[in-house]
Structures are given as C-alpha cells and as structure tokens.
Amino acid sequence: MNRDAGKRPFVRLRGVHKRFGDLQVLQGVDLEVARGEVVVLIGRSGSGKSTLLNCVALLEDIEAGTIEVDEAVISCGPDDLAALAPKTRRAEVAAEIGMVFQSFNLFPHLTVLQNITLAPRRVRRMSSEEADTLALRLLDRVGLREKANEYPVKLSGGQQQRVAIARALAMNPQVMLFDEVTSALDPELVGEVLKVMRQLAQEGMTMLVVTHEMRFAREVADRVIFMDQGEIMEDSPPGVMFTNPSTEEAACFLRVLMDAEAAE
Amino acid sequence: MDGFLKIASDIPHIAAGAWITLTLTAVAMAIGIVSGLVLVFVRLSRVPVLSQVAIAWIEFFLLTPPLIHIIWAYYVLPIVTGWRLDAITVCALALSASVGAHMAEVFRAGLQSIPKTQHRAADVLGLSVIDKYRFIILPQTLRVILAPSTNVLVSLLKDTSLAAVIGLGEILHRAEVTASSNFLFLEILTFVAILYAVLNYPLILLARRLERRSLRGFASV
Ligand SMILES: Nc1ncnc2c1ncn2[C@@H]1O[C@H](COP(=O)(O)OP(=O)(O)O)[C@@H](O)[C@H]1O
Ligand SMILES: [Mg+2]
C-alpha cells in the first residue's frame, strides 16, 4: 500500500469547470476522494454527475481547474497547464481509472472473454494465456465463468453489466467510476450487480458511484454528495444526508426519491 | 427462339466484351474503395480546408452523372489541356471517382452508425486510437457496410456500359456495332440485358445474404 495513503487524497478535483457550448455544466467543482473511500453522487438528472465522471475518466476536456489522480494532474484548463503531469505519467494514471456505464457498452462482435482480454493484451501487453487466465478468474468473481464464450447479445442486462465490471477490473484499476450502472436494468437484475459492487467496496476499491439506489448508498458509501446545477451542494456521511440534509435542495430531492422508493 | 438462333454466331463476340466489363468493374471498385476510405477519413478529420475539399469532391461526383465525366475527359480534356487519355483509362478513372464518392458515403454512414458509447468504452480502457479502430470500430462498421457496398458494386457493373459512348469494346458497344450491321436490335439488346443480369445476379445474391447476416448480428445489441 501507498505510504502516504490517507494523507493525500487519491482523487482531487479543484475548481473544475466544464461547458458544452453555452451550457455551463460544471461550475467549479471541488472534490477529494481518499484511497479506499466509496463516494456516492446523487442529484437531479442533468445536474452534471455523468459529466463529472467523464471528466475524471478523461473522456471530456475541462475549461478550468485541475483533476489530480494518484498525485498526478491528468487534466486541467488552459490556465493550469504548468501543473499538468508529463504525458507518459498521464497515460499510466489513466490506465488506473476504470469506468462502467449505464448502457454496459460491451463490444457486441467479441465474446465475453475477448471483451475482457482485449485491453490487457493490447495495452498491458499480456500474453493471451495470461489474459485468458485473468479473465476467467474475474468471471469467476462476478459469477459468469460459464458465459466466457458467449456473445453479449446472449446475456441478460445484469450479466452484461457484470461482464463490463470484470472488463474494467482486468486493467487492475486503482479507482472505479460507476455511472448509474443499474438504471437500465430490470428490477430483479439490480441486486446481482450491486452485490459485485459491494464486494469491491469491501475489498477496499476506491469508488465514485452515481446511483439512485439509496439502500446501496446508505450501506456502502462513506460519503454522499448532492449535486445541483453543476455544483456540489452538500457533502455528508450517509447517516446525515439521508436523515438530516443541511440544504433545502438536497432535502427536496431526497423526499421525491424516498417517495418513489416507498411507492414501489 | 428464332431470333436468338439468328444471332447465335454474334454471341461469342459480344460476350467476349464481358472481360472488359469485368476488368473495368474490378479496377474501379479497387480504386473506389481506397479513395472512398481516404475521402471519408479526411472528411471526418475536420481538418480545415482539406475536409471541405473532400466534401466538395464527394458531392460533385454524387450529384453529377458519370456519363458526363466520361465524355468530358475523353473529348474536352484533350482540347483544354492537350492531354489525351485512352478510352479504357478514361472510363476506369470516371467510374472510380463515382464509386469513390459513393463508397465514402457508405463508409461514413457505417462509421457513424457505431454508437459513441463504443468509442467511450474503448477510450476508457486505454486502447490507442489505432487499436480502437482496428479491434472495435472497423469490424463493426464492416458488418454494417457489406450489403450497401455490394449494391454499389452492382450499380458499377451496370454503369460500365457507359463506356460504349466513347467506343470502348465492352459488351454494349460490341452489341451496338453488331446490331447496326445486321439490324437485329431486338434480339441483340435483349441478349445484352440478360448478359448483364447474369453477371450481376451472384452479386445480388451475395448482397441479400450479407444483409441478412448483418441484421442478425445487430438484432439485439
Ligand atoms: N456531449 C454533450 N453535449 C452537449 N450537452 C451535454 C453533453 N453531455 C451532457 N450535456 C448536458 O450537460 C448537462 C449535464 O448532463 P449530465 O452530466 O449527463 O447530467 P446527469 O448525469 O447528472 O444527468 C445536461 O444538461 C446535458 O444535456
Ligand atoms: Mg447521467
């Protein structure tokens, strides 16, 4: 483990601004996530949660501020270019960031096994035997070893999402980003995906999770963050956020969400 | 049947034109595919000026008939530039330009049919741009474009008959010359139509099979 673990946050966003055209989507986001911490992001649709994760995953550039992971600035606005880590270091760090999407995004023309082994082979230069062994071990872990040679089309949504998690884990990430990974699933399939995520959290994975699964957030999160209109409005432990949120916006959002949950 | 007996002796001569027809088809397809790929990547690269030139080139050859390019390159180009190309070169180039423009559109539609999420999934795994296209984007694109590409090929084979206007000895030109000496226009042109259909039929069958296959692969992604 890192000697500095606990001292310096593993993920650190400072003053992150992002806009699409005239639409300001992130307006100065400051966020720190320690190694091994599980942080859940909640907020209305359109509040910028996905954009935040995409910026950390380097899928989007930012207009201002810095994003630091594992002590390297991997993304910044034009004013902070001096702080940016060298290109090779950025690539190293980028490979430590895993991400899972709402829509699974498995590669439809590749088998489950090939989906998992492609990046380890091409990016990590593993031999195909090594990569296969790794993939089968990860499939065991998500309970899908027997599907190794199936195409994604043949799998249920829950199974596809578990393969997507295994595919991300195959790159041995140090932090995992989850963007509403259960929102596209039928209710009876949500549990199997959350179970895998719980297990990851218990093993000490650093996780940044956008979800509307309030029970998961209550049980697994170290902190819950409420976003509104591209800003972090509240950052509290789940016990506080769900019982006694300090902002009216968060309280209002949670009331609606709890009512919806109770109605199910 | 009577009529066809009358032209039986002309058939080998006319059918021999199929070699030129097929050669033109093969050459124009090869040049067309390569130039179509170049055009589409230049176009999608969004490099200023270059990208606009590619768009203008594609639209020009999509919107104007290859017949005019053939006549222009054969009769007008030598007058303007003093540069004379032989008939088969003119036809190969004109048809290549047309196929290139059509293939560029087929490639573009294919590439754009791959959801952005596939790009994101590949990017987040750290694949290089080349690996992303090689292993993720192009294989999926290929399945989408097989059927429309075959349709371009079918049109091309028919369009080689345009070469007749500048006297290239492909099927239609040979047929016209023969018919104007023995006046058996009905029989000879009917035979020619059948000959084109016979040459093209395997391609159509192929297109249908590929279409079914690509639909199957993408039915429930
Ligand atoms: N690629 C994009 N181009 C333009 N607007 C975008 C893009 N991505 C997201 N947006 C807009 O940014 C805002 C925040 O979106 P998003 O981060 O997806 O919110 P959330 O995940 O919280 O629902 C929304 O208004 C959305 O329409
Ligand atoms: Mg979202």
Give the residue-averaged pLDDT of B126-140: 94
Structure confidence at residue B1 (pLDDT): 58
Among chain A residues, the shortest Cα distance to B218 is held by A108
B123 Cβ under 8 Å from any chain A Cβ: yes
Longest dimension (CA), chain A: 55
Say whether A107 and B136 touch across the interface (CB within 8 A): yes
Give the residue-averaged pLDDT of B3-9: 80
Task: Decide which of A257 and A55 is more confident.
Answer: A55
Structure confidence at residue B170 (pLDDT): 86
State the average pLDDT for chain A.
Answer: 94
When pLDDT is cut at 50, 70 and 90, the band that residue A1 belongs to is very low
When pLDDT is cut at 50, 70 and 90, the band that residue A260 belongs to is confident
Nearest CB to A59; choose among B124, B127, B221: B124
Point out the least confidently predicted range of A112-116, B3-7, B142-146, B160-164.
Answer: B3-7
Contact residues, chain B, for A123 at CB < 8 Å? 125-128, 131
Among chain A residues, the shortest Cα distance to B214 is held by A109
State the average pLDDT for chain B.
Answer: 90
Amino acid identity, position A78 = P
Find how far residue B112's CA is from the centre of its chain: 21
Assign residue B113 the CATH number of its domain: 1.10.3720.10
H or E stretch including B117? helix B116-124
Asked whether the predicted pLDDT for residue A198 surpasses 50, the reply is: yes
Nearest CB to B135; choose among A54, A97, A118: A118
The residues with which A224 forms a beta bridge, in sequence order, are A40, A236
Q: How many domains does chain B have?
A: 1
Ligand 1 binding pocket (C-beta < 6 A) is A 20, 23, 25, 43, 45-51
Among the bound ligands, name the one nearest to the CA of residue A22. 1
Structure confidence at residue B167 (pLDDT): 83
**Ligand 2 mean position to B133 CA, how many Å?**
26
pLDDT tens, residue by residue, A217-234 = 999 999 999 999 999 999
Asked whether the predicted pLDDT for residue B9 surpasses 90, the reply is: no
Share of chain A above pLDDT 90, in %: 91
- Pairwise CA distance, residues A31 & A60, whole Å: 17
Contact residues, chain B, for A99 at CB < 8 Å? 124
Give the residue-averaged pLDDT of B59-78: 94
Say whether B128 and A122 touch across the interface (CB within 8 A): yes
Amino acid identity, position A134 = L
Structure confidence at residue A7 (pLDDT): 66
Domain boundaries, position B168? 2-220
Structure confidence at residue B215 (pLDDT): 62
Among chain B residues, the shortest Cα distance to A116 is held by B125
Give the residue-averaged pLDDT of B74-91: 91
Do residues A209 and A197 touch, judged by C-beta distance below 8 A?
yes
Structure tokens, A249: 């916006």
**Ligand 2 mean position to A40 CA, how many Å?**
13
Structure confidence at residue A2 (pLDDT): 45
B62 Cβ under 8 Å from any chain A Cβ: no
**Ligand 1 mean position to A228 CA, how many Å?**
12
pLDDT tens, residue by residue, A22-45 = 999 999 999 999 999 999 999 999
pLDDT tens, residue by residue, A106-156 = 999 999 999 999 999 999 999 999 999 999 999 999 999 999 999 999 999
